[in-house]
């Protein structure tokens, strides 16, 4: 049999020796070249698996190795390669098989991140005791006060009491009612916002309370935040978005990586970077909670519209309460649909709808005299009056008929 050419390394130095490998008999080989001359039993050699067309390594028991490019020659010498190895080799040489395996690996990776990480994060969240979640919440509150300009609220005590009662009314029938609390903060840099803090606190900014004209909008936003609390969204989202850090902390017991997780929580809470599924779940929870308390879910749509209007008009870079996913329009129309269903089952409460106009709905319209009596200024009277009043000295618009 012909000798095979190879490159020999003794396993002790990096020096390369060009060698020839020949067979003495069925059980023994001889390696010769330069300073190398050795004989070895074939049974003691190990042939590394094929990898495409790259040279294969023949390993000796003392750590020496020789690289051989002649695949066919090696195949003749080592016919005992197992079938699996040959199959793998065939696949590696097949472009379609390589492409398919890349696609399968990518799909497996995407599936792991899309479903595997959320699933595993939720299982971990279930195991985290409420005390630990509460400690995380305290840490987050501290960070909001320290780094995000959250300060003591300027809302007066009587008004806070009034809102506390509304909040308590919403939570009273919830299984975790005793853990929920409402906290007020003045946060001019953040703007109108409400946050469900891990552990049960809901923080509302003075700016949000100033924005709403009706307390039922406050109820609607609180019901949504309580939805996040009921489903432990803050904790679950934290685990999902810092999954690698969580795993590292679990395996190493390294507390410093756990603190890195805490640092990211206030930002995602302020920017409402919950997953689409979490937002929709909290919205649905809000619609059901409001309906239970005989408040139409249309008030949620109204609150969203006011926030949307505020953030559209406001370009100072304050952190938006409204998340970009799902879109605000989708959330408003979902709330309105829920509102229609509510009114259909509670026709006696139709007058409580945010945009209810008795003049349109029931033809109960104020007469001109009353309008003028109600209105304090002329602009309001003009707006209310059905008779168009031309301002003195104005010419009729020629484009108008």
Which positions touch Zn ion (CB under 5 A)?
282
Cβ-based nearer residue to Zn ion, 47 or 235:
235
Cβ-based nearer residue to Zn ion, 223 or 282:
282
| Alpha-carbon gap, residue 171 to 169, rounded angstroms | 6
Cβ-based nearer residue to Zn ion, 50 or 236:
236
The tokens describing 338, both together, are 């829920």
Cβ-based nearer residue to Zn ion, 8 or 218:
218
- State in angstroms the smallest separation of the CB of 288 from Zn ion: 15
Cβ-based nearer residue to Zn ion, 77 or 180:
180
- State in angstroms the smallest separation of the CB of 242 from Zn ion: 19
Tell me which residue of 274, 398, 265 sits closest to 326, measured CA to CA: 274
CB 398 within 8 A of CB 388: no
The tokens describing 399, both together, are 């484009």
Cβ-based nearer residue to Zn ion, 60 or 300:
300
- State in angstroms the smallest separation of the CB of 282 from Zn ion: 5
Q: Helices then strands (H, E): number in the chain?
A: 17, 11
* Edge-first strand listing for the sheet containing 65-68: 36-41, 28-33, 17-25, 4-9, 65-68, 56-59, 46-47
- State in angstroms the smallest separation of the CB of 301 from Zn ion: 15
| Sign of the alpha-carbon dihedral angle for 160, 161, 163, 168 | positive
- State in angstroms the smallest separation of the CB of 201 from Zn ion: 15
Tell me which residue of 17, 48, 13 sits closest to 31, measured CA to CA: 17
- State in angstroms the smallest separation of the CB of 121 from Zn ion: 18
Give residues with Cβ within 8 angstroms of 74, minimum separation 6. 4, 47, 56, 58, 68
């Amino acid at each position: 049999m012909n000798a095979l050419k190879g490159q020999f390394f003794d396993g002790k130095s990096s020096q390369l020796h060009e060698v020839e490998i020949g067979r003495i008999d069925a059980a023994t080989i001889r390696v010769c070249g330069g300073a190398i001359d050795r004989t070895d039993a074939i049974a003691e050699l190990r042939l590394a698996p094929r990898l495409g067309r790259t040279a294969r390594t023949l390993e000796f028991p003392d750590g020496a190795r020789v690289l051989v490019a002649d695949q066919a020659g090696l195949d003749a010498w080592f016919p005992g390669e197992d079938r699996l190895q040959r199959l793998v080799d065939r696949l590696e040489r097949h472009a379609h098989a390589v492409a398919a395996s890349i696609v399968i690996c990518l799909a497996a990776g995407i599936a792991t991140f899309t479903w595997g990480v959320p699933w595993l994060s939720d299982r971990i969240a279930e195991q985290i005791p409420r005390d630990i979640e509460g400690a995380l919440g305290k840490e987050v509150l501290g960070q909001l006060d320290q780094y995000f300009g959250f300060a003591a609220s300027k809302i007066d005590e009587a008004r806070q009491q009034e809102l506390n009662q509304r909040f308590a009314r919403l939570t009273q029938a919830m299984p975790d009612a005793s853990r929920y609390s409402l906290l007020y903060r003045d946060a001019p840099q953040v703007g109108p916002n409400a946050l469900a803090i891990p552990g049960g606190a809901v923080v509302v900014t003075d700016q949000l309370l100033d924005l709403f004209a009706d307390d039922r909008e406050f109820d609607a936003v609180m019901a949504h935040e309580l939805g996040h609390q009921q489903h432990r969204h803050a904790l679950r989202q934290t685990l999902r978005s810092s999954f690698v850090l969580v795993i590292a902390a679990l395996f190493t017991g390294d507390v410093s990586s756990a603190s890195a997780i805490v640092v990211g929580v206030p930002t995602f809470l302020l920017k409402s970077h919950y997953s689409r599924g979490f937002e929709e779940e909290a919205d649905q929870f809000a619609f059901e909670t409001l309906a239970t308390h005989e408040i139409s879910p249309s008030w949620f749509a109204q609150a969203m519209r006011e926030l949307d209007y505020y953030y559209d008009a406001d370009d100072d870079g304050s952190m938006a309460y409204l998340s970009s996913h799902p879109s605000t329009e989708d959330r408003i129309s979902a709330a309105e649909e829920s509102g229609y269903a509510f009114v259909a089952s509670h026709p006696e409460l139709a007058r409580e709808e945010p945009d209810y106009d008795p003049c349109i709905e029931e033809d109960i319209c104020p007469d001109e005299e009353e309008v003028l009596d109600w209105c304090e200024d002329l602009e309001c009277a003009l707006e209310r009056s059905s008779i168009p009043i031309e301002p003195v000295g104005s010419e009729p618009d020629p484009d108008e008929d």
